Structures are given as C-alpha cells and as structure tokens.
Amino acid sequence: MTGVIEVSREKFEELVAEALDTIPPELTKVMDNVVVVVVDDPPEPDLLGLYTGIPLTERGEWYAGVLPDRIEIYRNPICSICETEDDVVEEVQITVVHEIAHHFGIDDDRLHELGW
C-alpha cells in the first residue's frame, strides 16, 4: 500500500448519499424506520459499518413505537484501507449495501455466499 487517502467528512457523507441513491427503488420503498449516519470511528477496530436494530424479517405486529434502526458507516477505517478516492467510492458502496442487507435480515454468512 502506498498511502492512505484523506476524504473530508462532507465529501464522505456525499459518497454515502450517492451509494444510497444506487439502491433500487423497489428496495428503498420497503426500508422502514432506519437511519444511515456517517461516524468517524467505530466502537471496535476493523469495522467499516454497523447495523443496529430489528431486521425487517424479525418484525411482527408488536413492532411499533421503537427508535429507528441505525446504520453507521465509519469514515476513518474505510479511508485507512483505500489508496485512491475511487477505492473509497467502491468501499463505501460495498459497505452501504452490506449494512442495508442486514436491515433486510441477510446475515454475514449469506452475504459472503452472495459475494459481498
């Protein structure tokens, strides 16, 4: 690796927004009670993103009045593994899709089977 790319918080937030815009409308239409935020540093090392909440597949009639699910995308770890801004764009896209998949109830094992 030749170096780490620096991406401003504002630019990184734009990249996350652009990645969200690539999610097919038929999926975004059924996403429910979820917020996506950029956070500089993860709560533990080696995380690029984190989904916290109750996946759509686990919600029942009891599901009401709860705080939104939270998807965090971690700026510093993503930038630290990338050498170019194009690498950051790609890694943000992968991470956003990965965490949204968790919102839909898809676990890490299945994501890896699918190539994510």
3-state SS string over 87-113? HHHHHHHHHHHHHHHHHCCCCHHHHHH
Which pLDDT score is estimated for 67? 95
Q: Strands (DSSP E) along the chain, which ranges?
A: 34-39, 49-52, 69-74
Which pLDDT score is estimated for 8? 95
**Residue 82 burial by Cβ neighbours in a 10 Å radius (0-12, 13-18, 19+):** buried
**What are the average pLDDT values for consecutive 10-residue runs of the chain, which has 116 residues?**
78 98 94 96 95 96 94 97 95 96 93 83
Rounded Cα distance, 78 and 72, in Å = 12
Which pLDDT score is estimated for 93? 97
Place of tokens 């939104």: 68
Which pLDDT score is estimated for 2? 52
